[in-house]
Structure 1
Amino acid sequence: MSRTWLHRWQLKTAAGVTRICGRLFSANGDRYDLVVIGGGSGGLACAKEAAGLGAQVAVLDYVVPSVQGSSWGLGGTCVNVGCIPKKLMHHAALLGEGIRDSRSYGWKVEEERPELVWSQLLSTVQGHIKSLNWGHRVQLKDKNVTYLNAKGKLLDRHTISALNMKGEVTEVKASNIVLATGTRPKIPDIPGAAEHCITSDDLFMLRKPPGKTLVVGASYVGLECAGFLTGLGFDTSLLIRSIPLRGFDQDMARLIVRNMERHGTVVHHNSIPVKVERLDDGRLDVVWQHTNQNEGGLERGVFQDVFDTVLVATGRGPDSKALGLDAVSVETDVESGKVIVDERDETTVPHIFCIGDAADGRPELTPVAIKAGKLLSRRLFGNSTHNMDYNNIPTTVFTPMEYGCVGLSTEKAINQFGSENIETYHAFYHPLELTIPPERENQLEDHYIKTVCVREGNDDRVVGIHFLGPNAGEVIQGFAVAMRAPGGLPMSQITSTIGIHPTNAEEVVKLYITKSSGRDPVVTGC
């Protein structure tokens, strides 16, 4: 008799009483083996995996509308206001640029500059999102997972208060509770920001074109939004307080911003917003200040301009207080508010777990939350002991020139191994397909690749791969597999690999110039 079959049989016997991990709970009424608070990618993956292993599972999901009133369906940030609509709008921007490039390849395009119909783009994107919302509902039903459109709050370590849209409150009991509520955008504490600015929670639902837009913040969210808005034809400006893409490799971050400027985004470096006011005609008057007040401007580093839309992307945070964590002594990080967890994703309170963006010290990435959720359910209900490995996780920033990476940044590698033990192989290259259109000439210089290595004997061990260029995510995904090889990835393994020609990815396996050599890293094709 298999363990899975036996476990399912146990759940259906003993007069409706279930034994999970040595604890007795009734399988009748509002009592479950697992309750997941949060219907995002991680929470749904955790719930479906547990149900597939025979557990009785419920998911509570409730979207608190944004400050501007935006709300959405089941699926969390990624599906509704994150990865999916972002990638679709990024692709739409690339298509517009591709149409313009096509003239150089002999295509006859009537319009000098293709015009975007915002309402059609919005309808297409939202239509796809709604299909995903419905798909998640169907999958939960197929897995016999109870779905409650209610806001969950902990009353004790096994009891949850569920508040639905009608204001009705019910109590739900669970032997195990998983917090998977993710994060929401933070609104900067400046006059007019909360009243007049939007966030990424609102951008993908704007009923009218954003027009002239100011994006505040240089996180990956800010850079991605500014990038595709520029590509879609909107006059877009970006305020950067200090460094872009904090936590990412800064060589790559600087090149991304430089490319965005060449791409058409107006970038204001070392700048912070001071106030936002709505004018009589509906536009927004914005005042910002240069952090170096010796700069010019209206008065000692103060600047002003008028915009149709102001999007703030100044960080995200969890709504820890709404979960009632204090009532059950679940500890959170003082600064971030994120839930403190151990290597098993368990909080400071037994039987209460946290996965995804709301957990402290975890990468804020959808695939990470999904994998962590599945592994957690397997440990709880499938006799697994396999914990999530948070090392060498790949990711991509979908700016106009995409940036994909896996492993350590230069800064983190130096901090971990010491600068004297680090060697970097790098190259500037020109994507073949972009060398034909003359409009692309000033953008070619920023395409860059590097591997960050630790010197080890006669070979170098790769601890980070960074790629700037077309389809960066597709390129890095394959190299990420190699990075997880037992014993690590020797640089010789990369350079001994035959490239696929002509591709951009082959430039990675052709790397041979080291930073320490001082040689010009610009390379040419065959």
Structure 2
Amino acid sequence: MSFDYDLFVIGGGSGGVRAARVASGEHGAKTALAEEYRLGGTCVIRGCVPKKLMVYASSFPAMAEEARAYGWSADVGRFDWTAFRTKLEAELDRLEGAYRRGQQGAGVTVYDQRATVTGPHEVRLADGSVKSARHILIATGGAPFVPDFPGAEHVMTSNEVFRLPALPGRMLIVGGGYIASEFACVMNGLGTEVTLWNRSPVLRSFDRECRDLIVARMVAHGIALREDALIQKIERGAAGLVVTDTAGRTETFDAVLYATGRRPNTRGLGLEEVGVQLGPKGEVLVDDWSQTNIPSIYAVGDVTDRIALTPVAIREGHAFADTVFGARPHSFDHQMVASAVFTQPEFGTCGLTEEQARAREEIEVYSTSFRPMRSAFAGAEEKVLMKLVVSRATRQVLGCHIVAPDAGEMIQIAAIAMKMGATKEQFDAACAVHPTMAEELVTMRKPVR
């Protein structure tokens, strides 16, 4: 049987474009990709990249304050949101163009429209045309989830926050994960009065000791936090959005941002109709090779709900293309994947939390928290935390957690050693770089627990 394409990719995010580019450009597969919005996906268009640029923008007031403590006459003045947003949109356009040129250069046919699956080897485009493919890859990512409640139409999600016409004076952020916490810090740094509501402890899935320090600093920076709040309804009033919680208390805000989680983008794709098995959240169920129960259909990235990180999606997509089209079978190892949370202070983490490790085996915990030289000289109360979780039996470093400026940069380096199975003694054998914050990772000699 002949097919129109060797590979048809649905979804133009990081995982999909990598798989398409490698399959076509490196392995010679005739490849097409369909994307109904913009190439680049969540990360480039409405996630990691614009968020990180907002993190940078929000950090300058603190920098000016610190500069004054070091003897400089410094003032950042008024923040021009419109100027920033205009430049941000231009940067996203540039990045999308780069992604499109990458696909074209690799010989991938790009369809700027929605595609759905109509058979094990068949997809239907929004224009009604049907394309056949030897293999189909689902890479449609995820989307913010907003529960159904009275007034839900008044809220925004992380998709819309980058296009705000103006910065709100008062913003309620609902959620307790890393996205909610990051935006709370960003908006607070930009001068918005931020309130963060969640019905349980914020950042509860992360290492508790690190979480406690981050939350304490968020509150110290002026973020109003409630960890017992659940919204009952939102109404538009003369002074803004009137938010009522389930206890009957009300507060008024100019904007409400919901960041209560994300769901895989599988609704209406036709997957269930052709027999692809989905999980309880709508995620595509796959094996270690990213293959579904239908042999010709694969899935990578957030739509599989494995690890929702851009670099993971890229590795999964690359491994898929090498395996299916390059005669180089390999799968991505989801163990020891480092990540960063761009709160203020920043958080870098790799491996198991103390709580996870302790539930699994006997461990030793090496931890230290201190005011770094830079903050101490400026008279600031900012603290950093360095933490290693170590197996007593094997001495392997099971977890590394860093709360500090540029923690994401530091954890990337530590993750290399951890991926290689480094032991505590091998960390100790590395000579410290002085004076740095990171030297604490190789100078903690006695366990605290």
- TM-score, normalised by the number of residues in structure 2: 0.97
- Is 2:164 the counterpart of 1:206? yes
Runs of 4+ in 1 over 6 A off after TM superposition: none
Deviation at 1:267, TM superposition (A): 0.5
- Is 2:3 the counterpart of 1:40? no
Contact 1:422–1:454 (Cα < 8 Å) also in 2 = yes
Contact 1:396–1:472 (Cα < 8 Å) also in 2 = yes
- Is 2:349 the counterpart of 1:390? no
Quote the residue 1:54 is aligned against.
Answer: 28
Contact 2:170–2:253 (Cα < 8 Å) also in 1 = yes
Which of 114, 122, 127 aligns to 1:159? It is 122
**Distance in 2 (alpha carbons) for counterparts of 1:414 and 1:342:** 28
Quote the residue 2:2 is aligned against.
Answer: 25
- Is 2:268 the counterpart of 1:322? yes
Quote the residue 1:482 is aligned against.
Answer: 417
Q: Give the 5 Å matches for 1:492-503.
A: 492-503=425-436
- Is 2:105 the counterpart of 1:105? no
Quote the residue 2:393 is aligned against.
Answer: 456
Contact 1:426–1:513 (Cα < 8 Å) also in 2 = no
Deviation at 1:244, TM superposition (A): 2.0
Quote the residue 1:473 is aligned against.
Answer: 408
- Is 2:374 the counterpart of 1:433? yes
Quote the residue 2:355 is aligned against.
Answer: 411
Deviation at 1:74, TM superposition (A): 1.4
**Distance in 1 (alpha carbons) for counterparts of 2:2 and 2:215:** 55
- Secondary structure (helix, strand or coil) at the match of 1:204 reads helix
**Distance in 1 (alpha carbons) for counterparts of 2:208 and 2:77:** 34
Deviation at 1:122, TM superposition (A): 0.9
Quote the residue 1:172 is aligned against.
Answer: 131
Contact 1:51–1:145 (Cα < 8 Å) also in 2 = yes
**Distance in 2 (alpha carbons) for counterparts of 1:256 and 1:123:** 31
Deviation at 1:270, TM superposition (A): 1.5
**Distance in 2 (alpha carbons) for counterparts of 1:210 and 1:175:** 50
Contact 1:42–1:366 (Cα < 8 Å) also in 2 = yes
Contact 2:272–2:278 (Cα < 8 Å) also in 1 = no
- Secondary structure (helix, strand or coil) at the match of 1:330 reads coil
Letter in 2 for 1:395: S
Deviation at 1:95, TM superposition (A): 2.0
Q: Give the 5 Å matches for 1:72-471.
A: 73-109=38-74, 111=75, 114-163=77-126, 168-193=127-152, 195-281=153-239, 283-289=240-246, 301-334=247-280, 336-360=281-305, 362-417=306-361, 421-438=362-379, 440-441=380-381, 443-444=382-383, 447-456=384-393, 460-471=395-406
Contact 2:69–2:378 (Cα < 8 Å) also in 1 = yes
Query: Gaps (5+ residues) in structure 2?
Result: none
- Secondary structure (helix, strand or coil) at the match of 2:291 reads coil
Letter in 2 for 1:484: K
Letter in 2 for 1:114: G
- Secondary structure (helix, strand or coil) at the match of 1:306 reads strand
Aligned-CA RMSD value: 1.3
Deviation at 1:436, TM superposition (A): 2.6
User: Does the C-alpha gap of structure 1 residues 429 and 208 become closer, same or farther in structure 2, counting only changes over 3 Å?
Assistant: same
- Secondary structure (helix, strand or coil) at the match of 2:287 reads coil
Contact 1:25–1:33 (Cα < 8 Å) also in 2 = no
**Distance in 2 (alpha carbons) for counterparts of 1:268 and 1:392:** 32
Contact 2:202–2:227 (Cα < 8 Å) also in 1 = no
Query: Gaps (5+ residues) in structure 1?
Result: 1-23, 64-72, 290-300, 517-526
**Distance in 2 (alpha carbons) for counterparts of 1:513 and 1:191:** 54
Question: Larger C-alpha radius of gyration, 1 or 2?
Answer: 1
**Distance in 2 (alpha carbons) for counterparts of 1:126 and 1:435:** 38
Contact 2:199–2:228 (Cα < 8 Å) also in 1 = yes
Deviation at 1:253, TM superposition (A): 1.7
**Distance in 2 (alpha carbons) for counterparts of 1:81 and 1:95:** 22
- TM-score, normalised by the number of residues in structure 1: 0.83
Letter in 2 for 1:506: E
**Distance in 1 (alpha carbons) for counterparts of 2:437 and 2:77:** 27
For residues 91-147 of structure 1, the C-alpha deviation after alignment (integer angstroms, 9 at most, x for no partner) is: 1111221012111111112x5x73211111111211111100111111111111000
Percent identity of the aligned residues? 36
- Secondary structure (helix, strand or coil) at the match of 2:125 reads strand
**Distance in 1 (alpha carbons) for counterparts of 2:351 and 2:268:** 35
User: Does the C-alpha gap of structure 1 residues 413 and 89 become closer, same or farther in structure 2, counting only changes over 3 Å?
Assistant: same
**Distance in 2 (alpha carbons) for counterparts of 1:106 and 1:136:** 44
Contact 1:40–1:181 (Cα < 8 Å) also in 2 = yes
**Distance in 2 (alpha carbons) for counterparts of 1:139 and 1:390:** 27
Contact 2:140–2:266 (Cα < 8 Å) also in 1 = no
For residues 60-89 of structure 1, the C-alpha deviation after alignment (integer angstroms, 9 at most, x for no partner) is: 1013xxxxxxxxx21100001100011111
**Distance in 1 (alpha carbons) for counterparts of 2:117 and 2:54:** 38
**Distance in 2 (alpha carbons) for counterparts of 1:121 and 1:288:** 34
Deviation at 1:365, TM superposition (A): 0.2
- Secondary structure (helix, strand or coil) at the match of 1:131 reads helix
**Distance in 2 (alpha carbons) for counterparts of 1:342 and 1:79:** 27
**Distance in 2 (alpha carbons) for counterparts of 1:308 and 1:511:** 47
For residues 200-237 of structure 1, the C-alpha deviation after alignment (integer angstroms, 9 at most, x for no partner) is: 00001112112210000011100000011101111001
Contact 1:429–1:507 (Cα < 8 Å) also in 2 = no
Contact 2:276–2:293 (Cα < 8 Å) also in 1 = yes
Contact 1:426–1:512 (Cα < 8 Å) also in 2 = no
